[in-house]
Copies of this chain bind each other. A is one copy, B any other.
Amino acid sequence: MKKVDIVVVGGSAAGLTAAITARLHYPKKTILLIRQEKQVPIPCGIPYIFGTVGTPAKNLIPDTPLEKNSVELLMAEATDIDRKARVLKTDKEDVQFDRLIIATGSRPIMPPIPGSDKQGVHAILKDVDYLAGLQKKIAAAQDIVIVGGGFIGIEFADEIRKSGEKNVTVVEILDHCLGLAYDREFCEEMGKIVESRGVKLLTSTKVEAIEGGESVQSVKVSGGKTLKADLVLLSIGATANVDLAKKADLRIGLTGGIAVDRTMKTSDENIFACGDCAEKISFFGGAPSPLKLASIATHEARIAGANLFGIRRENCGTVGVWATAVGEFAIGTAGLTEEMARRKGYQTVTASIEGPNRHPGCMPGAENTKVKLVFEASSGILLGGQVSGGGVVGELTNAVSACVQRRMTAEEIAMFQIGTHPALTASPIAYALVNAAEMAIGQMKKGS
A interface with B by C-beta (< 8 Å):
13, 16-17, 20-21, 24-25, 42, 44-45, 48, 52-53, 58-61, 65, 283, 293-299, 302-303, 313, 316, 318-319, 321-325, 330, 332-334, 359-360, 362-365, 391-399, 401-403, 405-406, 408, 411, 414-425, 427-429, 431, 433-434, 438-439, 441-442, 445
Contacts and interface: CB of A to CB of B under 8 A. Distances in A.
**Which of A59, A417, A427 has the most chain B CB atoms inside 10 A of its CB?**
A417
Nearest to A427: B42
13 contacts: A44-B421, A45-B363, A48-B360, A53-B360, A296-B417, A302-B414, A321-B419, A323-B421, A325-B421, A330-B421, A392-B395, A398-B416, A401-B418
B419 A334 contact: yes
B21 A323 contact: no
A428 B392 contact: no
Nearest to A413: B402
A419 B392 contact: no
Contacts of A431: 295, 298
Given A393-B424, A394-B421, 5 more contacts: A13-B428, A42-B427, A44-B420, A295-B417, A332-B421
Nearest to A411: B313
- Name the 10 nearest CB pairs between A and B, nearest first: A394-B424, A321-B419, A402-B402, A395-B395, A295-B428, A394-B425, A399-B399, A298-B428, A325-B423, A322-B419
Contacts of A298: 428-429, 431, 434
Given A42-B359, A417-B296, A425 B392 contact: no
A270 B426 CA distance: 32
Contacts of A48: 360, 363, 422-423
Contact of A360 (B60, B313, B411): B60
A412 to B, nearest CB: 8
Nearest to A362: B58
A299 B363 contact: no
A429 B13 contact: yes
Contacts of A406: 402, 406, 408
Contact of A394 (B392, B405, B408, B417): B392
Contacts of A439: 24
A423 B408 CA distance: 28
Contacts of A401: 399, 416-419
A433 B53 CA distance: 26
B397 A398 contact: no
A302 B441 CA distance: 12
Nearest to A297: B428
A427 to B, nearest CB: 6
Contacts of A45: 359-360, 363, 422
Contact of A53 (B334, B363, B425): B363
B418 A295 contact: yes
A26 to B, nearest CB: 10
Contacts of A423: 48, 52, 325, 330
Contacts of A313: 411, 415
B302 A438 contact: yes
A419 B402 contact: no
Contacts of A323: 419-421, 424-425
Contacts of A408: 402, 406
Contact of A321 (B59, B364, B417): B417
Contacts of A395: 392, 395-396, 398-399, 424-425
Given A392-B395, A395-B396, A441-B24, A420 B363 contact: no
Given A24-B441, A438-B302, A321 B418 contact: yes
A332 B393 contact: no
A274 to B, nearest CB: 12
**Which of A360, A401, A416 has the most chain B CB atoms inside 10 A of its CB?**
A360
Nearest to A397: B419
